[in-house]
Each structure stands twice: as structure tokens, then as C-alpha cells.
Amino acid sequence: MTGHRIDVHAHFPIDLRRGVGSVEPWEAWDTPAALRHLDSFQIERQLLSMPVLPVGRVARAVNDRFAQIISEAPDRFGAFATVPGDDVDAALAELRRALDDLGLDGLGLCSNVAGRYLGDPWFDPLLAEAARRGVPVFVHPALNPAAAPLALGRAPFLVEYPLDTFRTVVDAVYAGVFRRHPGLRMIVAHCGGALPALAWRVSSLADLAVPSAGGPSREEVQDALSRLYLDTALSGSPEVLHAASRLVGADRLLYGTDSGAAPDAVIAANDDGLARAGFSAEERAGVERHNAQALFGR
């Protein structure tokens, strides 16, 4: 085994150009090939997740496949549990099974499920369970079914994914998710999408955005945003990484590749951007390894 990095953002092989709507790519998984890929990018351990929430019993099959992969290389792989997106009671039951019986590492969610965002009460039982257990929640972007025209005919990862990531974080903050679940530890993919650029706007205009009593104050919004964790996948610009660091602190940035979706050349370019971002040796070691160790506890 070579490598020191902990990669918190990876998937089964998918075609980034066609989107991530399929729930069948686990069939293409090859553990020996995946291990060679980890070594080529100096990754010691990789956490897998599904970039969509499947329906019905498919979630159970995905989690069982995650557990099988982990059993084949327990020192190299972990996974975020996927849950059914159509039944919250079934989702809660599957989350408990995945954590208790399969030993998975946290909960994987999407920015929206059928147009429901993280501020929607539908998610509250899942977020409460994750907060109670102290397990991280990984949030990956998804295309809102009603938003396809807004993608301008381009692939959704160009426009809609970064904006939907931003949209769901704002919804969660303004809906009081972090106030209700102070122990929630949320990892947001791709450095939060548009969040680093727009965080000041979101917090500074809080008093205008929620003029009625009971809404979050500017300070509450700032505090909630600062407690997020952001991964570095597809965010290999020093300017983006610095903005993300100013928002949450370098100790809340986590190394991510988007492996399985992002081509190797993109991952390498992303790593190069991280190397050129000007972090101190201690900060970079934190991003690549120690911050994830502290978050996951192993």
C-alpha cells in the first residue's frame, strides 16, 4: 500500500457526461483495479457514496455491495450509507441497518430528492439520527427534476450541480436545520459549489431575507456555514480553495477526488491546484489526511 490521503468523495464508475441517474454502475466495480487507482493518487483510504438516492430495495443492495467491497479491503475502503429517497421510514430503517449491521461510516444524501431540499421536514428524522450518533452526513449535488431547462442544454455538472449544492445549504440554514441538530456534521461536496463565493451575501442579508421573528440572524447564518466541512473534489482552483478555507477554516477542508465520475486527468489537475494553493505543510496535511481522521475517528 502506498499513499497517505483520505478521499471522502468517490463513487462506483459512472459516465459524468450522461449524468448520475443510473443505480446499476456497481456492476462495473473491480476492487483490484480500484486499489491500483488509489495507489496511483497516493490515497490510503477512500469513502464511497452514491450520488443519487435510489428507491425501494435498491438502497439495500447498494449498501450490501459497499459492505462487500469493504470486506475485500477493509483498510482501504469505507462508505456512506445510501437510503431510499421515496419513504422516510424505510430510509431511517436502512440507515440504522447500514450503520449497525454493516458498519458503514456515515449517511449519504443528495442536494435534493424529487425537489425536496435539506430544509424540508422529510429529512429531519435522518439528520436527527446522524446527529445523535455523531456520524458525518455527505451531501452530493443532484438535478432537480424541474430544473432541467435551467441547465441551458449543457451537462448538469457545469451549472446546476454547483448551484443546487448552494441552494440546499441555504435552505438547510434558513430552515433551522443546524439549530435543531447542533451535533450535525455535514460534508458538502465540491467545496460547497457556489457557496464560498456567495456566503457573505447569504449571511449579510439574513435580516432582510427573513424579516419576521424566528428566522436566523446574520450571526447564526455565519456560524452555521462555518461549521460545515467542504471537500476539494472538482475545486482545484487556489482561489476557490482559499475562499473555502476563509469560510470554514483549513481544518474543515477534506480531500476529495470524485473518483468514478471525474477522469484521471481532472483528478490530477485538481491535486495540482491543491498543491499550488499556498497552504502550509501542516494545513495541507490536514486537508489530505488529518482532518478526515479527526472527523471519522478512525
Higher pLDDT, 18 or 282: 282
- Report residue 57's pLDDT band, with 50, 70 and 90 as the boundaries: confident
Q: What are the percentages of helix, strand and coil residues in the chain, rounded to 5? A: 50, 15, 40
Quick check: 24 pLDDT over 80? no
CA torsion 18→23→27→30, rounded to 10°? 70
- Please say if the pLDDT value at position 239 is more than 80: yes
Region 239-250: what's the mean pLDDT? 97
At 264 the three-state DSSP class reads helix
Can you give the pLDDT at residue 22? 46
pLDDT over 80 (residue 218): yes
Q: Which residue has the higher pLDDT, 158 or 293?
A: 293
> Which of 52-56, 131-135, 165-169 has the lowest average pLDDT?
52-56
Distance CA 257, CA 235 (A): 9
**What's the chain's Rg over C-alpha atoms?**
18
| One-letter amino acid of 275 | A
Average pLDDT of the segment spanning 12-33: 67
Q: So what's the pLDDT on residue 23?
A: 47
With cut-offs at 50, 70 and 90, classify the pLDDT of residue 213: low
* Prediction pTM value: 0.94
Q: What's the pLDDT at 58?
A: 87
Q: What is the pLDDT of residue 21?
A: 46
Task: Calculate the average pLDDT of the chain.
Answer: 92
Residue among 217, 90, 116 nearest 171 (CA): 116
**Lowest model confidence (mean pLDDT) among 97-101, 106-110, 146-150, 196-200:** 146-150
CA atoms within 13 A on the CB side of 118: 32
Q: What is the DSSP string of 20-35?
A: S--S-GGGG--HHHHH
In the predicted structure, residue 18 carries a pLDDT above the cut 70: no
pLDDT at 19: 47
Overall fold of domain 5-296: TIM Barrel (3.20.20)
Q: Which pLDDT value is given to residue 97?
A: 98
Question: What average pLDDT score do residues 15-35 get?
Answer: 68
Tell me which residue has cell 447564518.
Answer: 221
Q: Which pLDDT score, from 0 to 100, does residue 266 have?
A: 97
Q: What are the extents of the domains in the chain? A: 5-296
pLDDT band at 20 (very low <50, low <70, confident <90, very high): very low
